[in-house]
Structure 1
Amino acid sequence: MSDVIIIGAGPAGLQAALTLGRMHRSALVVDSGEYRNGTVLHMHNVVTNDGTAPVDFRATARAQLQRYDTIELRQGRVGEVSPADGGFAVRFEDGTVEHAPRVMLATGMRDDLPDVPGLAELWGVRAFNCPFCDGHEFAGRTVGVLGAERAEHVVRMLRPIGVSIVVFDDGALDDDRRAALESLGAVVHRAPVTSVAPDGEGVRVSAGEAIRVDGIFVTNAAMRQRAPFADQLGLRMLPSGAIEIDEMGRTSLAGVSAAGDLAHRASVPGVMAAVTLAAAAGQLAAIGIVQELVMA
């Protein structure tokens, strides 16, 4: 039996496993093969890995974890996590059951994109949601902003990068907000977006007419838990849809930790999706687990 079962093998889960392995604590890391940035071609704003493909990042991490005898990596999908015998039972979809005194959730969030034909195919390639991660690459180019509710915030973030911005009004803008966007230098297009499609190295947006932009920032994608485990365990949740954790990644249920973009402290305004933040959260959660093991 491992000290902890880590469900999820993105940056949070992999970093947690590394930290535990270096302390000679045992962990079973379950990798479903699905990742929030699975369609992304290059990571950015990741020190020493700026421009690295996420698939290469994960492969390097997995190779390094092979050096640690106490860490087991397993491909598979978990269907249920439940308390059992003073610890937890982790049931895989193939019927296998593993037990551990502690569980760490690192399955991340899922983006529910607006219902625009073609958008899902461009997600992570030419359509994004994070100016910190992808804004710099559009310096001196033209981008579209899809989703009017948070458009002004995104426009203000992108302005110093030096991009030309077209905001596609989905009906949420009144005259004052439209004027505010235009005062920031954005062009506001009032027709609804009916589809998007690749256009050379850019994107063709159909919105009453065909408008070409180099990329799209989507502000109205909804986020939700990728996996059902928080509900199954009855964990305390935050208005953002994330799991509430303390400073060391502990959830409201003793023995369960969470790390990555699926969880944050109540003092943080919302979900912050970034590779370095997820890895840092994974390390903190692993340190918290080691502390508990030492005290036990």
Structure 2
Amino acid sequence: MTDTQPSTAPPSFDALAEAIRHRRSVYGHLSGLRMDRYAPGEAWSTLPYRPVFVGDSDTGVIHGGVVTAMLDESCGMAVQLALDGTRAIATLDLRIDYQKPATPGLDIKAHAVCFRVTRSIAFVRATAYQEQESEPVATATACFMVDANRTNMLVDRPVFAGEPAPLEAPEDGGGLFASSPFARCLGIRAGEGDTLVMPFSQRIIGNPVLPAIHGGMTGAFLETTAIITVMRELGVSAPPKPIGLTINYLRSGRALDSMASASIVKQGRRVVAFEARAWQDDATKPIATAFGHFMLRQEQD
């Protein structure tokens, strides 16, 4: 009698794409992000507009962190479509260049391309847009680690089906984030001294197996911290406009509350350079750092 070994053949590309479509991050599912089209190493996705994504109620503009998280997730899809789906990936660094504010009320689309994969690293670029890809809201470049941990997306991750549960933004009255629904959705609050705190919750999970915080959520947290720091230190009431943001991921964000602080590196008449860092149980061991630029809003803006 001959023993029969289970098949280890990789799935067909269409089966891989279907797995990626339904076995993604928790936040990706809750946000409503969907993959519309796919090709080897290439993904087209759409994020339906939701009022909870607004970063400034006075203007109705989408929070930059929403765009950051969407591009991070879309880049991850492209990387998985360049692999066989069984290998875990993690974002090493992500650079976002904001071209223009997203028009309130419109969906955001993304096109991500994994253009090179080495033994350990995958390189990706992506564009976020609303009506035409030639008129981007933001562009991104990213590097992902391949075989970042021992989880297997095709086997270990749960299948998400049906409509996602609504994302809520509790009211904050005259609090720090009264005009930022997305910051309230993430539960961000003031901490000790000049720090902010992002409590751990199911909605910010990236890899549900570990579990680990979504890289885009960490990026959104760092950007929010920098915005609050600039407004406080410069005594301005209007949130600054993000120009560019580079995030370096140093270790996984675990199922713990995260803290962050930021500082102004250089201030010009209209542009401010900042740096920010996030950590969990040890401030000397950050989970991520960021550097970027804001443009200060003028009265005529």
Structure richer in strand, relative to its length: 2
Structure with the bigger RCO (C-alpha within 8 Å, sep 6+) is: 1
TM over 0.5: no
Looking at CA atoms only, which structure, 1 or 2, has the larger radius of gyration? 1
The structure with the greater share of residues assigned to helix is: 1
Q: Please, what TM-score do these two structures have when normalized by structure 2? A: 0.23
